[in-house]
Structure 1
Amino acid sequence: MEAHKISVTKVMTKKPKPANDQLGFGRHFTDHMFIMDYHIEKGWFDPRIVPYQALTLDPAAMIFHYGQTVFEGLKAYYTDSNEIQLFRPEENIKRLNRSSARMCIPEIDPELALTAIKQLVAVDKEWVPTIEGTSLYIRPFIVATEPYLGVAPAKQYQFIIILSPVGAYYSEGINPVKIAVENQYIRAIKGGTGEAKTAGNYAGSLIAQEKVTNHGFAQVLWLDGYEQKYIEEVGSMNVFFKINGEVVTPALSGSILPGITRMSVIELLKQWGVPVRETKLSLTDLQAAYQQGTLEEAFGSGTAAVISPIGELHYQSHALVLNNNQTGPLAKKLYDTLTGIQYGKLEDAFNWTVSLT
């Protein structure tokens, strides 16, 4: 593909932009989108930025019937120096390609994918909100478009990127959440699609999330699919526990999504000299640490919330109240450091950020 040349067709009339205090999450979309097509005989072709529009797909498009799709999520941030930057986009692109390989979807040239993201954000840079805590959410995704009712990898796809200005995840600051252990439904098992970012994983999790939400909980704590014994994820985030001065997080086992924020947390902890271990952690061991008074903090990590402290953990009739239902000092330090780097307030010693220019 010639020097990753992307054609651009701009809108004639721009949409009205929502007020900064009315952004929410994933409700508003910018003026433009990126599309690129794939055919088995041509490879990926015709990369283009066009006005945001509805897709026209054949009713027999394989995405509707066999769920062949992958997606990613990252953000663009306005810095204090009035620049726009991305946070570790290369890692999101790597994960997109790993997910694609698992779902039998052809991979994207990483350099082209990054160019597409940067160019699309540049075209719609007026949509990047500027007040503290806001950002431009970037959603790249791939869908199988071949019209064919047969269980096989599709021969046609579209790679699409859309953008959405989003508000601060915490409207009143970082606050602990109440979560419940799920012991009826299973999110994923080793050998399945748990480590891929694909739609079916999220559809399958909705029933458990709905169940706990109806009982006043914010998230589900998922256990492993074999023994329903070992901790895996919290909601759609990776999870960390500080036990007796050491931070423990479930090891990537093939059923856990390898989070970009998770990776960043581990690298920060190592730089700070905080002991961190990736291992199997059973719910029984966690309860024992709580009874012994050594369970100091717990928090989830992910793109949307960055760091989400856990204030209460409920299992059957047991309630574990962590750190007096207050945000722990380590969770707060991680949140402040990661967001500080993302918004350009702190030095980026890891070279995680990528400027739009």
Structure 2
Amino acid sequence: MNASFLASRTLKNFHLRLPRTTQLSKLSTSSQIRKMSSSSAAGSSPKPLDASNIIFKKAEQLKPLPDWKTLKFGKEFTDHMMIMKWNKQTGWGTPEIVPMQDLSFHPATSVFHYGFECFEGMKAYKDEKGVARLFRPNKNAERMLSTGTRISLPAFDPNELSEAIRKFVATESRWVPNERGFSLYLRPTFIGTDAALGVHDCENAMLYVIASPVGPYYSSGFKAIRLCCSEGAVRAWPGGTGQYKLGGNYAPSVLPAAEAARKGFAQILWLYGEEDYVTEVGTMNCFTVWINKNGEKELITAPLDGMILPGVTRDSILEIARERLVPQGWKVTEGKYSMKEVAEASKEGRLLEVFGAGTAALVSPVKAINYKGTEINVPLPEGQEAGPITTQVSNWILDIQYGKVPNHPWSIPATN
């Protein structure tokens, strides 16, 4: 049996044996994942994913670059896309960078019927010297492997995917805007492509990458938002797939989000359980800044217990906060906390800031939360749309993304 297939099945079965509160992506370290995926090359004919030799088919005519100031998210695409195909018998084919084009599939293709689909969201930035840079691409590649193997898609070495994406960005570097706040959004997508009905492990798959230049999430600086807490609907549950970046986790949230928007709220703050534990805000991880009951200054976010997505931005904020805020007397916590505790902190004057965090916005400050019909106001400095911690962590990470911090390991140059 194909070793790559066995690797994916092993990872999946390992996850299913875990206690409900165990987070797969936290246990599957980079070295463990690479060891599993690289085993596909040992003693078998199917080929592993290999980014060392990419076929480049240049578009006959390159498109004119758009006016960066008029960009709308996900509407404009670059000249090329990257395609990587997999077959159970032959393994991974040679990655190809080809002109941007439509994809054609049989109507019975498994991605259309059974949800064999996952994706990533990441960005490339341009530094002051005009060099395109990726931000922690290995993290996105590792998460895609974790998600893909959960739905029986084939394993791969995340280092090879990260390198393939780096080379793709180097090819499309003219599409990376050269202004701070602007970036090239990358959408790796992994799908099952069996042209037959029936729920079973995929024998054919495709991993492709498209790219779209985007402007700043807030065109004129931060704009604090209002949230409403979920009532009835839940985004994830113990033992489910809430920690994976599956397309099937996003479509069910659209209707509740639209209902919230009609009521004047920007996003839903997803709660869970009788205690109303805070999980995520919209499609972002959620951070709360408060003085906890012990009188400590604390930055807290929900734990990786299978209920939330292990966000790359989330992980970056936690790491940089532990490095720079802890020496200033702050406590940085990954732990369960409830909306009841947030409401109590607000009443007692201990609530300081709330913000969402994700690839699209980086951070999104919150000014109010509607909880069971009561509006909880989140303090903001007079005349400003974001608190000091929200602003500080945003600037710290932006400086890394745009290459202003020399030789930072999170910022990977995308050059030929």
Partner of 1:294: 350
Whether contact under 8 Å (2:275, 2:338) holds in the other structure is no
1:62 to 107, 110, 116: 110
- Map residues 182-201 of structure 1 onto 2, 5 A cutoff: 182-201=230-249
Contact 2:275 2:340 in 1 (8 A): no
SS in 2 for 1:104: coil
Instruction: Structure 2: state its 5+ residue gaps.
Output: 1-46, 292-296
Tell whether 2:269 aligns with 1:230: no
Alignment of 1:175-254 (within 5 A): 175-224=223-272, 226-227=273-274, 229-244=276-291, 245-254=297-306
Whether 1:282 aligns to 2:338 is yes
CA distance in 2, matches of 1:348, 1:331: 25
1:76-110 CA-partner distances (Å, limit 9, x unpaired):
10101221111000111011111112111112222
Aligned match of 2:362 in 279, 287, 306? 306
Provide the rounded CA distance (Å) in 2 between the counterparts of 1:280 and 1:71: 27
1:114-129 matched pairs, under 5 angstroms = 114-129=162-177
Q: What is the CA distance between 1:345 and its match in structure 2?
A: 2.4
Write the deviation string for residues 251-294 of structure 1: whole angstroms up to 9, x where unpaired. Answer: 11102100001001111111121211111111111111111110
Quote how far apart the aligned CAs of 1:3 are: 6.4
Instruction: Note the 1:69-88 alignment, pairs <5 A.
Output: 69-88=117-136
Give the counterpart of 1:23 among 71, 76, 80.
Answer: 71
Cα distance change on mapping 1:285 and 1:348 into 2, 3 Å: farther
1:25 alignment partner, SS class: coil
User: Quick check: 2:368–2:378 contact (8 Å CA) kept in 1?
Assistant: yes
Alignment deviations for residues 283-309 of structure 1 (CA, whole Å, 9 cap, x no partner): 111111111110111111101101111
The corresponding residue for 1:260 is 312
4+ residue segments displaced more than 4 Å: none
Q: Secondary structure at the match of 2:342?
A: helix
Counterpart code for 2:331: P
Deviations 1:186-236 (A, max 9, x none): 111121111010100001111111111111111110012x43611100001
Asked whether the equivalents of residues 353 and 380 of structure 2 are also in contact (C-alpha less than 8 Å), the reply is no
More strand by share: 1
CA contact (8 A) 2:141 2:159 kept: no
Is the Cα contact below 8 Å between 1:269 and 1:275 reproduced in 2?
Answer: no
TM (norm. structure 1) is 0.96
* CA distance in structure 1 between the aligned counterparts of 2:103 and 2:302, rounded to whole angstroms: 39
> Any idea what the Cα deviations from partners look like across 1:320-357, whole Å, max 9, x if unmatched?
111147411000001111111111223465x1111113
Aligned to 2:182: 134
Contact 1:341-1:348 at 8 Å conserved across structures: no
CA RMSD of aligned residues (A): 1.4
Matching residue of 2:6 = none
Task: Tell me how far apart the structure 1 counterparts of residues 406 and 61 of structure 2 sit (CA, whole Å).
Answer: 39
- TM-score, scaled relative to structure 2: 0.83
Segments of 5+ residues of structure 1 without an aligned counterpart are none
Q: CA deviation at 1:243?
A: 1.4
Alpha-carbon distance between aligned partners in 1 of 2:185 and 2:59, rounded to the nearest angstrom: 20
| Correspondence for 1:163 | 211
Aligned length: 355
CA contact under 8 A between 2:127 and 2:402: conserved in structure 1?
yes
User: Within 1, Cα distance between the matches of 2:71 and 2:304?
Assistant: 34
The 1:312–1:3 alpha-carbon spacing in structure 2 relative to 1, beyond 3 Å, is: closer
Task: Give SS of 1:121's match.
Answer: helix
Match of 1:341 among 400, 407, 410: 400
Task: Give the one of 379, 388, 404 matched to 1:329.
Answer: 388
Counterparts of 1:26 and 1:228, CA distance in 2: 37
